[in-house]
Copies of this chain bind each other. A is one copy, B any other.
Amino acid sequence: MARKPKQQRSKATVDAIIEAALISIARQGPGATTARQVADIAGIGVGSLYEYFEDKDAIFTAAGARFVDDTVAMIKPLIPELVRMNIRDAVSKLLFTFRDFLEENNQLYLKCARHAFSQDMVMHQAPINRALMDLFTQYLMHHPELLRMPNIPAVAYFYINGGIFTVVRHLSEEKPTQSFEELTMVFGDFLASYAEHKVGASNATQ
């Protein structure tokens, strides 16, 4: 029950378990994945799961953490580049990168993300929101005229939360009513319009 892996071998096992969990969650959702399935995919015995994880839920939590870490690792390096672009281009670049990330490995992360909006899991997503909030803040630093926008924290809150959910939902759509490109444009336009309207500066987008 919940040991720390000390040997190389067991570290690999833990990793295999987490990846197996991600795969199984993507395939069938957390509710339908059984401990035996995870063990089978990881290529280990059922009992071994409980050597490193308190219970099945702990496995899901670890898988979620892996997802969150990878997502943050995708966002962070983009920041220096994004803060130098105009709003529309920055939003576009961010969203397309995000999409590619979610589509990797046969949509592994996209399929997992669909389950990540339920109660408990949202808690653990905080690092993603913080990374995006960080991007938002740094962007403002590089475009000081934007600081005249009112209600910046609330704007960021709406934009980031609503944005993540909308993108995941859209990418999961069977037959989307609009293309991802259209959605991307609207995302950029929405924010840029607000900035330009409030700040009254067209240079806000340069």
Contacts and interface: CB of A to CB of B under 8 A. Distances in A.
A155 interface: yes
Interface residues on A, range: 35 or more
A190 B117 contact: no
Contacts of A172: 119, 122
Oligomer: number of copies: 2
A37 interface: no
A187 interface: yes
Interface in A142-197: 150-151, 153-155, 157-158, 161-163, 165-166, 169-170, 172, 177-178, 182-183, 185-187, 189-190, 193-194, 196-197
A198 B196 CA distance: 11
A66 interface: no
